Amino acid sequence: MTDGPGRLPVESEPRTLDLDRADAYGRSFADVYDRWYHDISDADATARFVARRCRGGPVLELGVGSGRLARPLAALGLSVIGLDGSAEMLDRCRRAAGPGSISLVRGDMRALPFRRSQRGSSTGVIGGALIAFNTLFNLTSEAEQFSLLSEVAGLVDHRGAIIIETIDVSPLLVGPSRSIGVRDRDRNGLVVTATRLDVEARTITGQHLEISDRGVSIRPWKLRWLTTDHLDRLTASAGLRLTERHGSWTEQPDEAHPDTHISVYRRAEGP
């Protein structure tokens, strides 16, 4: 849409998006994810970390997105199953990965489309699972987060690991409940970010307003955060036990990187 003189074209009309939908994040960010977040963490170090812990079968990446992590995992020879609720994200992953290297599944993390192993069996369906960079926070209620952890616990082999990366959001809790910030995403534009914090519900709801030579795009998002203590309680209730925690994918101590937590869980009845 093009407006009169002095006004920016609007790339897409603002729309109401149910932020609890499985594809909400992908619909908002698929077209810019690789441009904005390609260096958000060390993908090769992530792949090496996961490969050392998940050797008993395929690795399930939940929220595979555009394949930023799945590609280096596959390059190490791992069999990778990538699940995402967004058709847009999966299309980008498929184009970037090429045919056959990663098995892609469109599905909702709140109802995984995989058959669980028999209760009490040590042999799971997958050799490990990766839930990277706050993907767990995209589930916006405790019941949904617990359900996912329980489902994954029923899929993973007793020798495998469930690896969860989370970011500490506690610095946000001492600030205002509503905030606006401006940042450069690339040379061609600016992004204005507005957020609303609900401490009681543990949710952050936001809008990324991208202003560039292509026009204006509005990208809404929502997350529900967990502290590591809360995460440990949920995973324990789901039948998992914490075996490692690091502050980076290069296995530095958690204290060295207080904003990042790499937690490794295994089935409670495993070795």
Dist CA 250 CA 238 (whole Å): 27
Host domain of residue 215: 170-224
pLDDT in tens, 131-186: 999 899 999 999 999 999 999 999 998 889 999 999 988 877 777 788 888 877 66
**In the block, residue with structure tokens 């555009």:** 66
Per-residue tokens: 235: 């995973």
Whether residue 61 is found in the same domain as residue 121: yes
Mean pLDDT of the chain: 87
Q: Is residue 1 part of a domain?
A: no
Whether residue 48 is found in the same domain as residue 71: yes
Residue 14 has pLDDT above 50, yes or no: no
* Segment 16-32 mean pLDDT: 87
Residue 94 Cα distances to 52, 67, 83, angstroms: 25, 8, 12
pLDDT in tens, 56-74: 789 999 999 999 999 999 9
Q: Residue 110 belongs to a domain with what CATH number? A: 3.40.50.150
8 A C-beta contact, residue 89 and residue 106: no
Whether residue 148 is found in the same domain as residue 232: yes
Whether residue 164 is found in the same domain as residue 243: yes
The distance from CA 142 to its chain's CA centroid, rounded to whole angstroms, is 16
Dist CA 170 CA 173 (whole Å): 5
Whether residue 49 is found in the same domain as residue 181: no
Percent of all residues in the chain with a pLDDT value above 70, rounded to a whole number = 86
Per-residue tokens: 69: 């992590």
Q: pTM of this prediction?
A: 0.87
Whether residue 148 is found in the same domain as residue 128: yes
Give the three-class secondary structure for 45: helix
Per-residue tokens: 114: 């995989």
pLDDT in tens, 87-143: 999 999 999 887 667 999 999 999 999 977 654 455 578 999 999 998 999 999 999
Burial 129-152 (b: 16+ CB within 10 A, else e): bbbbbbbbbbbbeeebbbbbbbbb
Per-residue tokens: 29: 């960010």
8 A C-beta contact, residue 9 and residue 216: yes
Q: Is residue 126 part of a domain?
A: yes
Whether residue 67 is found in the same domain as residue 160: yes
Burial class (CB in 10 A: 0-12, 13-18, 19+), 169: middle
